[in-house]
Amino acid sequence: MFRKVSVATLSAALIFATTPGFACTGISLKAEDGAAIRARTLEFGFPMQSNVLVVPAGKEFSGTLPDGGKGLTYTSKYAVVGANALGLTAILDGLNDQGLSVGLFYFPGYASYTPVTAENAKRAIAPHEFGLWVLANFATVDEVREGVKDIVVVPTPAPGLGSPQGMVAGAHFFIQDKTGKSIAVEPVDGTLKVHDAPLGVMTNAPSYDWHMTNLANYINLSPKDIGEEKLGNTTVSAFGSGAGMLGLPGDFTPPSRFVRAVMFSQAATPNKTAEDAVLSAFHILNQFDIPKGSVVNAAVGEPTPEITEWTSANDLKNLRWYFRTFEDQSIRMVDLKEAVAAAKGEIVTIPMEQTKRPISNVSADVTRSNHAAN
Amino acid sequence: MIRKTAIYALIAAFALAPTAPAFACTNIVLKAKHGAVVRARTNEFAIPAESNVVLIPQGTELSGTLPDGGKGIGFTSRYNMAGANAYGQAVIVDGMNDQGLTFGMLLFPDFAEYAEVTPDNARRAMAPYEFGNWVLGNFTTVEEVKKAVADVVLVPTTTPVLNEVLPLHYAVTDRSGKSIVIEPVGGKLKVYDNPLGVMTNAPGFDWHMTNLRNYVNLSVNAVPPIEIDGVKLSQLGQGQGMHGLPGDFTPPSRFIRAVVFAHAEYPADTAEEAVLSGFHIMNQFDIPYGSVRDTSGGKTQAEYTQWTTASDLKNLRFYFRSYGNQNIHMIDLAKAFAAAKGEVRTVKMSTEQPIEDLSTKFMSGNQAGSARQ
């Protein structure tokens, strides 16, 4: 169960010492119109100040080495839309104009990055730069599977993460293309390990194969109700619907969230269109909207409640990125093609938080009742 | 664990009828700083309840309905009341009055036992679904309701449209934050104090409160690492203190989760913040479509959360969202009743999700230009 001590001691030290709690849950749905929908929540112990980044094709980017030097350089082939963090040109969750999407998920205690060498420095990027690199360069999951062999992810701190100089984000990545094919990419023992992810679910530690094996502990669960049981002359009946799920773990640890996310997304009845599936995905992810105060992180300084900062859904058919935030639960959307066209070749941002109150006052919308009082 | 066979065979027959749709609800109460009280709940049903918000002004003549269709109790409402109805009826399933009293009916299958109608009690009788109108139409506080429930009986009258007797129990909270649960048991209305403000469905309320003792090990805090014979074990992620929290949607498991989430909540500064927190907590009980399937009656139906409400008892505002429209809507009782001009009126509960298109709402000054590349 416990991994070998990481060889990348620098990153390990930075990750362990000061990391705030950070949990995420990812699910996938497929609509009857063929659209693949990938959705996720993002939790963090402090505000990530995320906004939507619009990145046109043809932009120059470079990886950052731990000493601040330049690593891998590339020119983006595809236009990208997604959430950034801390003002960085980085993608925590988003998609490109080929219908490929990526999500960064926290992977504390397990992520171990490659030490920089003179040989690999020109192929190196930071963990927080991985998402944009994937979306800027590839169209399908199979391409990513090949592409990750050519790079190394090195322990470069993300500026502003936890402190001004930042710290190394212990992360793993979930990638899905427009056919619905999915992989989890995990930096383990200094290399990038690729796991097939046919159920489309992702949470956090431990590693992806552990979670998939753990599902065998829950094959008794069913969305169907349970009828009466006769025990001798005694009949025992369920209190209500839902008894088929008795044993489903309700806590917010990564293994328990993984099991719930598999159950809810697999039980979801088919949705006709991509938009129906997006709305269903938001309903499912409501289950992972951690109530403020129910998970308290006391790892660093004052105990802080972990909250779901935002929830997003990627429509890989129509190339749309949807989101809602903790402050405003109404659903908002960015259409990649429209946004990129309006950006006119520039990298631009769309604010995720607005000033308006997220409540519709309908007090005066009274209509005559069809039925008078009885 | 198994209750005695109901002596009210008629009701039992209705309650257990194989056509009764599954119906689950979760109820919480939050108290903000400076005394504001918010009660919130979800409403699940396997068939659409076609709910809207009904406004019933004070001075409306209301009456109870007997099983044979005759008239039971008659009264004139003393307070303006508003809330979610069902099937176009002027009946409040969940709502509040202008005195800051709030009421919710929740399903109580296999356990609700109503009184038989007699010549003696008919004039004090009403249908189970009419109880909310009587509570909100007549009282201002939980204490008043407590005193008055002995004066009425609930009789097994079928619910319009559904044509069955709904097995129900009730949650009542007043603006001071005092809460009670009222359960029809053995033909009488039994009242329980509800200091935690949580309610779900079967079995009886006292069973749920005792069951909480099975979960005193749960904690919102992280668990420190331990060492066993030199082997160090530490939590895999945040939230380990809650390991053992049941995650299914049966009423006992929802009761436990609701107590944990509502009481772990940081007190809100204002009533409106408590309302928004209430909706976040109720997200946990927004049953994902397909995850709970009712197969009774040979048909498979998915049970889902049709709507969620929150009643702000300080500012007299009723908030709601529906399965189809997850945005939060609000009616201010004073404004709504002014617009209703003394008539029974409804405000539509939207079921179409508006999605705001931000594709070209770029940040001014193009702050991304300064982002690190």
Q: Best interface-test mutation with B: which of A284, A369, A370 has the largest number of B CBs within 10 A?
A: A369
Among B2, B236, B356, which would you mutate to test the A interface (most chain A Cβ atoms within 10 Å of its Cβ)? B236
Residues of A in contact with B132 (CB under 8 A): none
- 42-81 of B, contacting A, C-beta below 8 A: 46, 54-56, 60-63, 65
Say whether pLDDT at A44 is over 90.
no
Q: Which strands form A101-106's sheet, in the order they lie side by side?
A: A191-196, A182-188, A171-176, A101-106, A93-96, A80-83, A51-55, A348-351
pLDDT at B237: 81
CA distance B44 to B183: 19
Residues of A in contact with B202 (CB under 8 A): 239-240
Q: Which of A8, A15, A23, A24 is catalytic?
A: A24
Both tokens of A214, joined, read 């753990």
Q: Does A280 touch chain B (CB under 8 A)?
A: yes
**pLDDT band at residue B164 under the 50/70/90 scheme:** very high
> Is B236's CB within 8 Å of A269's CB?
no
Residue in chain B closest to A204 (alpha carbons) equals B237
Q: Of residues A330 and B6, which shows the higher confidence score?
A: A330
Between chain A and chain B, how many beta carbons pairs sit less than 8 Å apart?
361
> Is a pLDDT exceeding 70 seen at residue A180?
yes
Report phi then psi at B176, rounded to 5.
Answer: -80, -10
Task: Report CA-CA distances (Å) from A281 to A361, B46, B247, B307, B324.
Answer: 26, 20, 18, 17, 13
Q: Looking at residue A2, what is its pLDDT?
A: 35
Host H or E run for residue B281: helix B271-283
* CA–CA distance, B351 with A363 (Å, rounded to integer): 17
Do the bridges between strand A182-188 and strand A191-196 make them parallel or antiparallel, or are there none, so unpaired? antiparallel
With beta carbons less than 8 A apart as the criterion, state whether B111 and B185 touch. Answer: yes
Whether the upstream peptide bond of residue B156 has omega within 30° of 0, thus cis, is no
Q: Reply yes or no on whether the pLDDT at A67 is more than 60.
A: yes
**Which residue's entry shows tokens 């039980």?**
A267
Which of B293, B328, B366 is nearest residue A223 as measured by Cβ atoms? B293
pLDDT category of residue B17 using cuts at 50, 70 and 90: very low
Classify residue B156 as left (phi > 0), alpha (psi -120 to 50) or beta.
beta
Q: Which residues pair with A174 in a beta bridge?
A: A103, A184
- Name the pLDDT band for A264 (thresholds 50, 70, 90): very high
* CB crowding B261-285: b at 16 or more within 10 Å, else e: bbebbeebeebbbbbbbbbbbbbbb
Q: Mean of the pLDDT values across residues B89-115?
A: 96
Q: Band of the pLDDT at A225, cuts 50, 70, 90?
A: confident
| Rounded Cα gap, residues B333 and B92, in angstroms | 14
Q: What are phi and psi of A318, to 5 degrees?
A: -95, 5
| CA separation for the pair A316, A131 (Å, rounded) | 16
- Which of helix, strand or coil describes residue A86? coil
Tokens of B9: 């065979």
Contact A280 B289 (CB under 8 A): yes
Note whether A136 and A55 are within 8 A (CB). yes
Give the helix/strand (H/E) hosting B71.
strand B71-76
CA distances from B27 to B197, B279, B325 (A): 7, 11, 20
Angle, CA of B56, B61 and B67, to the nearest 5°: 100
**What contacts A344, CB < 8 A, 6 or more positions away?**
none
Tens-digit pLDDT profile for residues B124-142: 999 999 999 999 999 999 9
The beta-carbon neighbor of A293 closest among B203, B220, B360 is B220
Interface of B with A in 226-285 (CB under 8 A): 234-240, 242-253, 256-257, 260-261, 264-266, 272, 276-277, 279-281, 283-284
Residue B30 banded pLDDT, cuts 50, 70, 90 = very high
Are residues B331 and A362, on separate chains, in Cβ contact within 8 Å? Answer: yes
**Run of H or E residues at A75:** strand A70-75
Q: Closest to B240 (Cβ–Cβ): which among A253, A306, A339?
A: A253
Dist. CA B209–CA B193, nearest whole Å: 11
In this predicted structure, the answer to whether residue A18 has a pLDDT above a threshold of 60 is no
Amino acid residing at A157: P
Tens of pLDDT along B47-87? 788 999 999 999 999 999 999 999 999 999 999 999 999 99
Examine the pLDDT at B200 and tell me if it is beyond 50: yes
Residue A301 confidence class, pLDDT cut points 50, 70, 90: low
**pLDDT band at residue B302, thresholds of 50, 70 and 90?**
confident
Contact list in A for residue B289 (CB cut-off 8 A) is: 268-269, 280, 283
Q: 3-class SS at B112?
A: coil
| Partner-chain residue, chosen from A246, A247, A363, that has the shortest CB–CB distance to B332 | A363
Report yes or no: A127 and A92 within 8 Å, Cβ to Cβ: no
Q: CA of A236 to nearest chain B CA: how many angstroms apart?
A: 7
B276: Cα within 13 Å, side-chain hemisphere: 17
Residue A308, pLDDT above cutoff 70: yes
* Rounded distance between C-alpha atoms, residue B22 and residue A9, angstroms: 55
Q: Give the minimum alpha-carbon distance from A269 to chain B in angstroms, rounded to a whole number.
A: 5
Which residues of B are catalytic, by number?
A: 25
- Check CB contact of A233 with chain B, cutoff 8 Å: no
The residues, any chain, with a CB within 8 Å of residue A115's CB and separated by 6 or more, are: A7, A8, A10, A154, A155, A190
Give dist(CA B368, CA A288) in Å, integer: 30
Residue bearing tokens 């979930």: A174
Contact A370 B1 (CB under 8 A): no
The first and second tokens of residue B212, run together, are: 């909480």
Residues of A in contact with B261 (CB under 8 A): 291, 294
State the pLDDT at residue B23.
65
Q: What is the pLDDT of residues A344-373, one digit of tens each?
A: 999 999 999 876 668 899 998 988 655 443
Angle between the N-to-C axes of helices A254-267 and A274-285, in degrees from 0 to 180, rounded to the nearest 10 = 140
The answer to whether B314 touches A354, Cβ cutoff 8 Å, is no
Residue the block writes with tokens 């070998």:
A4
Q: In angstroms, how far is the first alpha carbon of chain B from the final one?
A: 64
pLDDT greater than 70 at residue A17? no
B189 touching A, CB under 8 A?
A: no
Q: Give the model's pLDDT for residue A61.
A: 98
pTM of this structure? 0.90
pLDDT of B18 > 60? The answer is no
Token digits for A87? 């003002």
Please list, in sequence order, all residues whose beta carbon lies within 8 angstroms of the beta carbon of residue A81, skipping any fewer than 6 positions away: A52, A53, A54, A55, A94, A95, A96, A319, A321, A334, A336, A339, A340
| Nearest by Cα to B142 from B184, B178, B182, B190 | B178
- Answer whether A335 touches B (CB < 8 Å): yes
Q: For residues A230 and B154, which has the higher predicted lDDT (pLDDT)?
A: B154
Nearest-by-CA chain B residue for A87:
B371
Whether A251 contacts chain B with CB within 8 A: yes
For residue B300, the model assigns a pLDDT of 84
Q: Is the pLDDT of residue B92 over 80?
A: yes
* Tokens standing for residue B280: 């976040």
On whether any CB of chain B is under 8 Å from the CB of A236, the answer is yes
B303 or A144: whose pLDDT is higher? A144
Lowest mean pLDDT among A38-47, A252-261, B1-10, B307-316: B1-10
Question: What integer pLDDT is reported at residue A238 of this predicted model?
Answer: 86
Answer yes or no: is the ipTM higher than 0.90. no
Structure tokens at B71: 């008239």
Contacts of residue A249, Cβ cutoff 8 Å, sequence gap at least 6: A255, A256, A259, A260, B243, B245, B246, B247
Instruction: Check pLDDT > 60 for residue B367.
Output: no
pLDDT tens digits, one per residue of A117-147: 999 999 999 999 999 999 999 999 999 999 9
Distance from CA of A28 to the nearest CA of B (A): 14
Give the burial string for B30-59 (b: 16+ CB within 10 Å, else e).
Answer: bbbeeebbbbbbbbbbbeebebbbbbbbee
Averaged confidence pLDDT in chain B: 90
pLDDT per residue as tens digits for the range A86-99: 999 999 999 999 99
Is the pLDDT reported for residue B172 higher than 60?
A: yes
Higher pLDDT, A214 or A21: A214
Q: Which residues of A touch B288 (CB under 8 A)?
A: 264, 267-268, 280, 283-284, 286-287
- A342/B238 Cβ within 8 A: no
**Cα of A226 vs its chain's centroid, Å:** 34
- The partner residue sitting opposite A287, judged by closest CB among B55, B272, B288, is B288
CA distance A119 to chain B (A): 23
Put simply, the answer to whether A363 touches B242 (Cβ < 8 Å) is: no
